[in-house]
């Protein structure tokens, strides 16, 4: 009898989950660059995401293999892999497209050094999304994010299908790092140590708003300076440690899945889903900066509401002052390329 009860329990869990997810909206998600360092673990994490009902994996190499592998994980979603010449098929009926395609940094490089290679990769993928699945939400991971997001916007604009509510640069890794590094310093639980990070995604354009957190406010002086530097240059730590083999992939896959999951909750009608993301934004548009990351409420149409950055300290004013001109240059470079 005990065995039977145990068997019943193991059956009850997945069917309960199937029931709740079939009651929810069906969502087809594509990963472009699914064979890569980020793409593979991101595909795995998305296979485990109950709001994803179908997973479409594309890369110029390796995606069918990744798809066959991931498809054996016993969750409800269907997984299909697409070869290099099957981009259009991969995008058919897709509502959310996550893009980690492109080359990563090696030691000594800045993210902007990736521009020459990644700008055209992202432009071409965005053009395909605009053609095949023009109402899809596009989540950009490929660096330099400060430039690739404006490139996607301009490409969709040219095709006449740009909706700013459906384009996101994923800056979640900066938030993840800020939470982890601050929690380590003050010995708190990272899950209970949220930090808002605004601006862009590279060096000085990354602006952590530690003064908005009770834990963060307590960090001052040299400790504060070091913490800010670590949040802004956390990517370099990984690039250095990987010693030529690439940049953050696993923590990025985690961050990418976390953001995708937040968007899916919003699309699904959940209220109060707010997270920083790099979007077309009115906040600094009067200074010629029309993309900016600040806390954004996600809803059934994507961007529901762009929140202002809120009250900031004198130190953060300085960080923001350093961020804006660099961010402006990065955005303009992307726009110039797309034009
Ligand atoms: P990787 O080289 O391991 O993987 C990239 C994948 O993209 C490869 O499998 C490659 O075949 C594929 N690819 C190249 N051109 C393509 C195309 N036209 N269509 C489809 N796929 C294509 O690199 P990675 O470590 O996964 O990093 C990918 C990108 O993500 C880099 O630009 C990196 O800088 C960026 N990144 C961003 C963040 C962030 O916070 N936003 C964090 C980490 C890395
Ligand atoms: C990161 O922040 O880890 C990524 O943008 C990759 C990089 O180049 O540092």
Catalytic site includes residue 72: no
What integer pLDDT is reported at residue 76 of this predicted model?
Answer: 96
- Nearest atom in ligand 2 to 177's CA: 2
Q: Tally Cβ neighbours within 10 Å of residue 241.
A: 11
What integer pLDDT is reported at residue 330 of this predicted model?
Answer: 98
- Nearest atom in ligand 2 to 238's CA: 3
E-strand spans in the chain?
A: 28-32, 54-58, 78-82, 96-99, 137-140, 167-169, 197-199, 206-208, 273-284, 289-299, 302-306
* Tens digits of residue pLDDT in 7-25: 333 333 444 444 444 445 7
What integer pLDDT is reported at residue 208 of this predicted model?
Answer: 98
27 lines ligand 1 (CB under 6 A): no
Residue 6 has pLDDT above 60, yes or no: no
* Tens digits of residue pLDDT in 65-122: 999 999 999 999 999 999 999 999 999 999 999 999 999 999 999 999 999 999 999 9
How far does residue 295's CA lie from ligand 1's centre (Å)? 25
100 lines ligand 1 (CB under 6 A): yes
Identified catalytic residue from 137, 201, 229, 307: 201
User: Looking at residues 43-68, what average pLDDT do you find?
Assistant: 98
Contact 176, 254 (CB under 8 A): yes
Least confident among 19-33, 245-259, 287-301, 313-327:
19-33
The radius of gyration computed from the CA coordinates of the chain, to the nearest angstrom, equals 20
> Which has the closest alpha carbon to 228: 251, 211, 243?
211
Nearest CA to ligand 2 atom 9: 235
How far, in Å, CA of 275 to CA of 272, rounded? Answer: 10
* Tens digits of residue pLDDT in 135-167: 999 999 999 999 999 999 999 999 999 999 999
What integer pLDDT is reported at residue 20 of this predicted model?
Answer: 45
Report phi then psi at 32, rounded to 5: -105, 110
Residue 278 has pLDDT above 80, yes or no: yes
Question: pLDDT-derived band of residue 313, with 50, 70 and 90 as boundaries?
Answer: very high
* Tens digits of residue pLDDT in 196-254: 999 999 999 999 999 999 999 999 999 999 999 999 999 999 999 999 999 999 999 99
What's CA 241's distance to the chain center, in Å? Answer: 23
User: Looking at residues 56-69, what average pLDDT do you find?
Assistant: 98
Contact 58, 90 (CB under 8 A): yes
What integer pLDDT is reported at residue 227 of this predicted model?
Answer: 98
Q: Is ipTM strictly over 0.95?
A: yes
59 lines ligand 1 (CB under 6 A): yes
What integer pLDDT is reported at residue 18 of this predicted model?
Answer: 44
- Nearest atom in ligand 2 to 248's CA: 3
How far does residue 5's CA lie from ligand 2's centre (Å)? 48
What integer pLDDT is reported at residue 24 of this predicted model?
Answer: 57
**What is the share, in percent, of the chain residues with pLDDT greater than 90?**
92
What's CA 160's distance to the chain center, in Å? Answer: 24
What integer pLDDT is reported at residue 26 of this predicted model?
Answer: 78
């Amino acid at each position: 009898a005990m065995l039977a009860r145990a068997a019943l329990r193991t059956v009850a869990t997945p069917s309960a989950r199937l029931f709740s997810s079939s009651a929810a909206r069906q969502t087809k998600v594509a990963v472009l660059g699914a064979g890569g360092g980020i793409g593979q673990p991101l595909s795995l994490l998305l296979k485990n995401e109950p709001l994803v009902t179908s997973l479409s994996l594309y890369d110029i190499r390796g995606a069918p293999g990744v798809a066959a592998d991931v498809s054996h994980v016993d969750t409800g979603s269907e997984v299909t892999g697409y070869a290099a010449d099957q981009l259009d098929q991969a995008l058919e009926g897709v509502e959310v497209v996550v893009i980690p395609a492109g080359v990563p940094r090696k030691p000594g490089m800045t993210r902007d050094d990736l521009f020459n290679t990644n700008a055209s990769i992202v432009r071409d993928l965005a053009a395909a999304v605009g053609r095949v699945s023009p109402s899809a939400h596009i989540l950009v991971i490929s660096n330099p994010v400060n430039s690739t997001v404006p490139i996607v916007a301009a490409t969709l604009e040219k095709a006449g299908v740009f909706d700013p509510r459906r384009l996101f640069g994923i800056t979640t890794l900066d938030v993840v790092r800020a939470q982890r590094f601050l929690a380590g310093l003050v010995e708190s639980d990272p899950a209970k140590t949220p930090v808002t990070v605004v601006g862009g995604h590279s060096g000085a354009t990354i602006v952590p708003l530690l003064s908005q957190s009770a834990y963060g406010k307590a960090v001052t002086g040299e400790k504060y300076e070091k913490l800010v530097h670590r949040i802004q240059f956390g990517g370099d730590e990984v690039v250095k440690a990987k010693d030529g083999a690439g940049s953050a992939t696993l923590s990025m896959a985690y961050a990418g899945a976390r953001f995708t999951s937040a968007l899916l909750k919003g699309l699904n009608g959940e209220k109060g889903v707010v997270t920083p993301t790099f979007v077309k934004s009115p906040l600094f548009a009067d200074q010629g900066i029309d993309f900016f990351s600040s806390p954004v409420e996600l809803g059934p149409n994507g961007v529901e509401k762009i929140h202002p950055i809120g009250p900031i300290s004198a130190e953060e004013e300085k960080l923001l002052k350093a961020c804006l001109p660099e961010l402006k240059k990065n955005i303009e470079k992307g726009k110039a390329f797309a034009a």
